[in-house]
Amino acid sequence: MKWGILATGNIAKKFASTINQMSKEDEQLVAVGSRNIESAKAFAKEYDIPRYYDSYEALVKDQDVEAVYVATPNTLHYENCRLCLEHGKHVLCEKPFTINDKQAQELYRLARDRHLFIMEGLWIWFLPLYDRLRSILQQGVIGEIKHISCQYGFVATGARKERKFNPALGGGALLDIGIYNLGFLRIVTGDEPQNVETQKVHINEYGTDDYSCLKLTYNDGCTAESVQTIGQELKRNARIEGTKGSIFLPDFQHAETMILEVEGKEPETIECPVDINGFEYEIREVSRCVKLGYCSSDVYTAKDSIALTRMMYDIRMSWSEADMKTVIIYASVHHNNTKKIVDAIADEYGVDIIDAAKITEKDLSGYDLIGFASGIYFGKMHQAVINFAEVNLSENKEVFLMCTYGGRPVFDSIKGIIKEKQGRIVGEFSCKGYDTFGPFKLIGGISKGHPDKNDLDNAKAFFKGLCKNRNL
């Protein structure tokens, strides 16, 4: 496989070093791309890469590149992977795959449509020790699994801290290293948990998590505890407890050793050393799958990746109740119908509001949940709200829609904009509103008296239910 590397950070260096230690007949580095030409040049020189580029766009246009390793910050994975796929490249993307499961599903769909391969780089999934572990568990050597525990922690400092704590880059312990814990639990159980409960979480001054302790419960009654932190040192160990014995992994991430204890037998140390550093196995998996014409791995499947992405997203959302910032952008120009429901929600829940008829530009990047509200005019929302969304809506935001209407509720006019910005619509609310617009004026208007108290109560209940359903 002829590889290109997108970005030149530390993880990209590990990937490049691994490739250079593998057989040149199987894997080759042919190009690297960076937003900084000097960085790309230095990287290429260090790892003996023949071509380097000053943009990701130039890299994916290189006809010699067959597959691209995406090594950018978390929030950029979706757009970078999409860029690669749209230019006909197979993709191995550094974990976490995407910020939410919708993005993950879209990338796997795009790969299938274009007959290309894509996989999340959860490299521990392919370690030889885990093949042995799966076999032991399937044989029932330690009986029925009752409890699993795993922990992983280090202290992030300097530039590393800046990156790993930055919310704009998808920072936080869960996304950065918690995926190893949750991935390990999926390796062991082969299943999704029935319930995930946060026992403890610490949100730092950056607005990201630097510590969390999770309790997971599975359908068969098995429980698990996962601790992940980038604020303190913790050994990367894990334990699996069954009805007939247990398995201890002193380092479940760089897993080369485990200790098997079975009732009535002496403890057994099982060793499965890696060839290089562990990355080689996911690289080989990409090459294997591409040769077979697969669009996703049958070992670490799209289902596995999407499930882990969804779980981490839901967990992170569940932590945001106290800190979730919400804004509603509205236009209410005739009878204040929409303003009444917006004010009712704002008064009850303390959300920010913006009158799009008066304010045309506003940075929305700091908001976690964004609402758009207006009356319906000739089958569409007010143009001021549509214009505001086109100009100001940030990418990958959760959005809800509200309207008051005389005829019928219609949201199509703004849904296209939200889709273009990779937004996710999490709820819609509508109610009747006094309407004297156009021909309705000739008959004295319709829906007079609305929105009434019941409408306002329903609006507040909608927002409350929205927050509850989204764990806001």
- Note the pLDDT of residue 274: 97
Estimate the crossing angle of helix 337-349 against helix 453-469, to 10 degrees.
50
- Note the pLDDT of residue 464: 80
- Note the pLDDT of residue 320: 65
- Note the pLDDT of residue 471: 41
- Note the pLDDT of residue 165: 82
Dist CA 350 CA 232 (whole Å) = 35
Q: Which residues contact 114 (CB under 8 A, 6 or more apart)?
A: 85, 86, 88
Closest by CA to 153, choosing from 96, 209, 72, 95, is 209
Q: DSSP readout, 298-361?
A: SSS-HHHHHHHHHHHHHHHHHT-TTT--EEEEEE--SS-HHHHHHHHHHHHH--EEEETTT---
Residue 184 identity (one-letter amino acid): F
Dist CA 120 CA 175 (whole Å) = 13
Residue 395 identity (one-letter amino acid): E
Determine the 3-state secondary structure of 50 from DSSP. coil
> Contact at 8 Å (CB) between 421 and 395?
yes
Domains of the chain: 2-121 (3.40.50.720), 128-273 (3.30.360.10), 326-469 (3.40.50.360)
Determine the 3-state secondary structure of 155 from DSSP. strand
- Note the pLDDT of residue 335: 83
Q: Which residue bears the tokens 């003996």?
A: 48
Q: What is the pLDDT along the chain (472 residues), one digit of tens a residue?
A: 999 999 999 999 999 999 999 998 899 999 999 999 999 999 999 999 999 999 999 999 999 999 999 999 998 999 999 999 999 999 999 999 998 898 999 999 999 999 999 999 999 999 999 999 999 999 999 999 999 999 999 998 876 777 788 877 888 999 999 999 999 999 999 999 999 999 998 888 787 899 999 999 999 899 999 999 998 999 999 999 999 999 999 999 999 999 999 999 999 999 999 999 999 999 999 999 999 999 999 999 999 999 999 999 989 878 865 456 899 999 998 888 999 999 999 887 778 999 999 999 999 988 889 999 999 888 899 999 999 999 999 998 999 999 998 878 889 989 999 999 999 998 999 999 888 766 655 556 777 888 999 999 999 989 887 776 554 3
Residue 219 CA, chain-centre distance (Å), reads 25
Can you give the pTM of this predicted structure? 0.70
* Structure letter (DSSP) for residue 178: I
